[in-house]
Chains A and B, each alone.
Chain A
Amino acid sequence: MSASSSERGKVIARVGRVIATRLGHAIFIILAVIILTFSLIHLAPGDAAEVLTFSQGGASEEQLAEIREEFNLDDPFLSQLGNYIIDAFRFDFGNSFFFQQPVSDLVLDRLWPTILLVSTALGMAIVGGVILGVYSARRPEKTSSHVMTVLALFGFSAPIFWTGIMLLLLFSSWLGWLPSNGMNSVTVGDGFFEKSWDTIKHLILPATTLGFFYMAQYSRISRATMLEVLGSDYVRTARAKGLKERVVIWKHALRNAVIPVVTIAGFQIAAILSGGILVETVFNWPGMGRLAFEALLRRDTPILMGMLIISAIIVIVANLLTDLAYRLIDPRIRYKT
């Protein structure tokens, strides 16, 4: 009993050290993200005041000076950077030049649509990819397996925006089954079920577009690992014990085969968020990706900085959780550390 407690304590201490080390790294990474991004944005010619007035037909020098003063754009670069770093570590990302609202409010407003889109796409990719991979691995020489291989290669190679436009043309333009843009129709009522159903209909195409790309990847990974696992001793033992093939595949083999997929999915959060920018733009989905894209075009530095910092935090946390989960799932990693 005491040996078990001692072992548990050591594991907790190891996990604690891992978390502390990662948090230390995270602070340096975020600091580097801030300094690098802030510097690059300021190195570009022009400033936000000129962009703001561009869409309004221009402005006089006096009006430009007023805007620059309002947003402290005339302060020395180091002063602006220093103030920003101090504010950022207090979670104050300033006000958007364009929207004139706190960046944190704008990002939080866009966070849920992005989480909805990314989580749905990721769920579809993992579940669909694993099912396809397992099916393909069970009969690797059959025609259906080859068809899936070709489909996976196609899904992996096709640019996300192209896939999105093709799905739009098929399901929205030609068949007219699904709406083309936004998260809700402009005429939808406020009823709970009506609005939820409307959101689901709007979610299908963007989530499928984003999910299809990763589903193709995960089907290839799960196929390869499943082929390896199906040839291992413990699977042969399970079959020798007379277990049904369904149980062997879905209970025993799959648990090991799915680990690489989950691990890679965790590490791909950053890539999925990046893909989300394209998907959100094509489908006019009101998420963080579209906000970032618009902010980039408008030189809305506070939004860009806030989005990058929050994205960096999301990626760091996702990687940390994936790393910890991997250690918990795979005993070899846990005891080697």
Chain B
Amino acid sequence: MKRLHLLLATLLAFSMVAVACGGSSSSDTAEGDDSPATTQAEAPEEIPAATVAEDTAEETTTTTAAPEEASDEPVSGGTLVVSTQTQAQHFNSNMASGTAPGLPSAQLFASPLKFDGDYNPQPYLAESWEFSNNGLTLTLNLVDDAVFHDGVPVKASDVAFSIEMNKASHPFSTMFGPVESVDTPDDTTVVINLSQAHPGILIAMSPVLLPVMPEHVYGEAFAAGEIREFAGNSDPSVLVGSGPFTLNEFDPTNGIIRLDRFDDFFEGPAYVDELVIQTIQDPNTVLIALENGEVHITNMQGVADLDRANTLDGIAVTPEGTEGIGAVVSMEYNLEDEVLSNNDVRKAIAYAIDKDFILNDLQGGLAFRAKSPIHPGSPFYDDSIEGYEFDPVKAAELLDAAGYPAGDDGSRGISLTMDFIPGVPDYQQNLAEYIRSALDDVGIELEVRSSPDIGTWIGYLAPRDYDLTMNILFMWADPTIGVHRSFLEANIQPIPFANNSAYINPDLEATLAKAGVATDLDERKALYAEAQATLADELPFHWIETLPTHSVYNEVVQNPPLTIWGTMSPLNEVWIAG
């Protein structure tokens, strides 16, 4: 039947090319105008102010404004289309992180907690939670009316099972590493016993990091060690979730994930009837689809794409909704290299790079300065540390002092290579090319080495077959999850996202360990400030900027997801204006 469609389409296409352009695109929009508009008794959260582009050529800052003609009354119905550039293989975020599985997983599965835009935990499956005085026990009190998609109640044992699966399967072992045991005295109480205080565990209970999965469906495969191959990770006929949407269709080859509203969701049914997650690689196509209403929400990083989005009527652009991932762009030093093992050389390189030029000219003002591995949006970021502002004279002095004086031709006899992550030119290759030029000005010869694909770049990074490399590291909302891993001696391994600089500092490790278990927020901030100061002084990386990721959405979208997790948070309270 499918081929018959295509055959007929082929034949018709030849004869109808000239006349077929007259159709309105309205039928192609995904708003689902046919759905009856009904008012929900339960109002959504306050609609966050959207940032709307100013139509100016040079002014790239965004201003806040409420969408025009936005109705205050939520409307049910329609299809919400979210576009992503990365294709999911499965929807089990207990096995892997990343936006690809995270976006659908957060819709299919609820979690104990969710977070607002200021890193504050909010009730979700857990209506309340409490740490013991010594921080070694966390008690969750679950709602009593949550059910899985098959109608079976969500019980405390399912939360315990999900934590067990996550601890055994997820690459971020620090999330639930300190969990010694989980007790479930009754169906709505979960008592998590920790080997050490672990305040970061609250963030680890976000929808994108801890989907609560039914033990009666996934338990057997997990016990048999076959959870990675289990069909329930992606097959609509097997997958049973706990979230606001059910899985209707997964078509990985065409990049379509189709989800339906789950009417028995414990927070009430989602406003939209259907949620479609569509993979589109080309950002130009995404922008046009956003304009047309074929796509409603996406995330973008490309400078030129965001510049164009800023000029489009009816399209809102905001850096909100991306803080949780906390991506920081940096230049990583291989400390096993003889030249780069010298701290003065690393500092000289840092001084030779004009961060203002990078932020304002290369990135068009769309990225923020980042001086440490902790994202500037995090409460633990310390902006007072040394940022190595552009000072080529100081760079030259440091190189002289390090034993690399300039020759007659200005060259200092230092020859290095610079790698970068391929496929993301705006904040990798362009930066690498600029740094080559900047280092040339202080007498350092830098060869920029291109990799044809990610595999090649990892092939240089993991075994430390590099001198300098551009990198992007993700914090995942809490430093214990995405920051510590880069500085632990035990994590010097030939794998990506480990301690690939081969940086060793036992004092720093001790500070990080203390910060990871500090239950007092101020104490924790102080410890991370101390760690950031140490890192800024020793420079195993030179941190440059945040990834200029922005949430971009059509203004028909009401109550857009602008929490720290953005589209990786449940979209049940998003609705589409008529």
**Residue positions of A touching B, CB distance < 8 A:** 44-48, 50-51, 53-61, 63-64, 98-100, 106, 109-110, 112-113, 115-116, 119-120, 123-124, 127, 165, 168-169, 171-173, 176-183, 185-187, 192, 195-201, 203-204, 207-208, 281-284, 286, 290-291, 293-294, 296-299
Q: At the interface, yes or no: B282 with Cβ under 8 Å from chain A?
A: yes
Contact B17 A57 (CB under 8 A): no
Tell me the complex Cα distance, A203–B11, Å: 12
Task: Please indicate the chain B residues that have their CB under 8 angstroms from the CB of A113 in the complex.
Answer: 6
Contact B294 A181 (CB under 8 A): yes
Distance in angstroms from B279 CB to nearest chain A CB is 8
Task: Please indicate the chain A residues that have their CB under 8 angstroms from the CB of B521 in the complex.
Answer: none
Distance in angstroms from A323 CB to nearest chain B CB is 25
Distance in angstroms from B507 CB to nearest chain A CB is 26
Contact segment of B345-353, B440-448, B491-499: B491-499
Distance in angstroms from B373 CB to nearest chain A CB is 15
Known: A182-B278, A284-B282. A199 touches B5 (CB 8 A): yes
Contact A297 B454 (CB under 8 A): yes
Q: Name the residue of chain A whose CB is nearest to the CB of B281.
A: A281
Contact B455 A51 (CB under 8 A): yes
Contact B5 A180 (CB under 8 A): no
Task: Please indicate the chain B residues that have their CB under 8 angstroms from the CB of A200 in the complex.
Answer: 9, 12-13, 16, 20
Task: Mark contacts of B250-290 with chain A using CB atoms, 8 A cut-off: 1 yes-contact digit, 0 otherwise.
Answer: 00111110100000000000000000101011101100110
Distance in angstroms from A197 CB to nearest chain B CB is 8
**Residue positions of B touching A, CB distance < 8 A:** 2-3, 5-6, 8-10, 12-14, 16-17, 20-25, 27-30, 32, 79, 81, 86-87, 89, 95-98, 100-101, 171-173, 252-256, 258, 276, 278, 280-282, 284-285, 288-289, 291-292, 294, 423, 451-460, 462, 465, 474, 476, 493-498
Contact A186 B285 (CB under 8 A): no
Q: Name the residue of chain B whose CB is nearest to the CB of A165.
A: B284
Tell me the complex Cα distance, A294–B281, Å: 9
Partner of B258, one of A63, A106, A186, A207: A186
Distance in angstroms from A54 CB to nearest chain B CB is 6
Known: A50-B458, A204-B17. A196 touches B294 (CB 8 A): no
Contact A48 B455 (CB under 8 A): yes
18 additional contacts (CB under 8 A) given A45-B459, A187-B28, A290-B281: A45-B451, A50-B495, A59-B171, A60-B493, A61-B494, A61-B495, A112-B6, A168-B284, A172-B25, A177-B23, A186-B256, A186-B276, A192-B8, A196-B5, A208-B17, A296-B453, A297-B423, A297-B453
Contact B462 A50 (CB under 8 A): yes
| A to B CB contacts below 8 Å, 27 in the list | A44-B455, A45-B459, A46-B462, A51-B454, A53-B495, A55-B100, A57-B98, A57-B476, A58-B171, A58-B495, A60-B173, A63-B171, A106-B253, A113-B6, A116-B10, A180-B288, A180-B292, A182-B278, A185-B27, A186-B81, A186-B294, A192-B8, A199-B9, A200-B20, A208-B17, A284-B255, A298-B453
Contact A58 B455 (CB under 8 A): no
Task: Please indicate the chain A residues that have their CB under 8 angstroms from the CB of B494 in the complex.
Answer: 61
Q: Name the residue of chain B whose CB is nearest to the CB of A60.
A: B171
